[in-house]
């Protein structure tokens, strides 16, 4: 894509790279001597992306777990890779609940746990039933989510 668009769209600045192909990601970072901003798009392997030089990311779990990713980034930047990996595992454990409880709708459930009810999804996305939300909330509590979740003012 970078080769196809390079020089043809003056305000094109980069892309959100959402794939696990680290070889391709690094090649994109190096394209035209790093001309384009390559934002990382997989929350569950942010530490690995930083090791390849990622400077920014766009993540679906950042809304409700921003402090976790800030701590992870800070640990990586100060060279505390063990702590960065521990925090990455917390992210992976949290993201595991997305699959367990139905994908995208689970993001709104996390926000509801924080006290911000974002309302229901439109079809075809299925909303989480109340009984399932109770089980979800128990799983969230078991993760220690309150220790790293975003805070509302």
The string of pLDDT tens digits covering residues 86-116 is 999 999 999 999 999 988 779 999 999 999 9
Along the chain (153 residues), what's the average pLDDT of each consecutive run of 10 residues?
Answer: 94 96 97 97 97 96 96 98 98 96 89 93 89 96 95 80
Beta strands in the chain (DSSP E): 14-17, 37-40
Q: Please count the other Cβ atoms lying within 10 Å of the Cβ belonging to residue 94.
A: 24
Q: Is the pTM of this model over 0.85?
A: yes
């Amino acid at each position: 894509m970078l080769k196809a668009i390079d020089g043809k769209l003056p305000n094109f600045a980069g892309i959100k790279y959402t794939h696990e192909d680290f070889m391709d990601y690094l090649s994109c970072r190096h394209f035209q001597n790093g001309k384009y901003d390559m934002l990382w798009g997989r929350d569950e392997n942010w530490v690995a992306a930083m090791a390849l030089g990622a400077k920014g990311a766009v993540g679906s779990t950042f809304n409700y777990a921003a402090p976790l990713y800030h701590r992870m980034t800070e640990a990586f930047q100060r060279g505390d890779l063990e702590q960065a990996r521990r925090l990455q595992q917390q992210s992976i454990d949290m993201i595991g609940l997305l699959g367990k409880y139905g994908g995208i709708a689970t993001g709104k459930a996390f926000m509801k746990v924080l006290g911000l009810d974002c309302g229901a999804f439109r079809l075809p996305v299925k909303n989480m039933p109340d009984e399932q939300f109770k089980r979800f909330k128990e799983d969230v509590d078991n993760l220690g989510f309150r220790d790293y979740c975003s805070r509302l003012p």
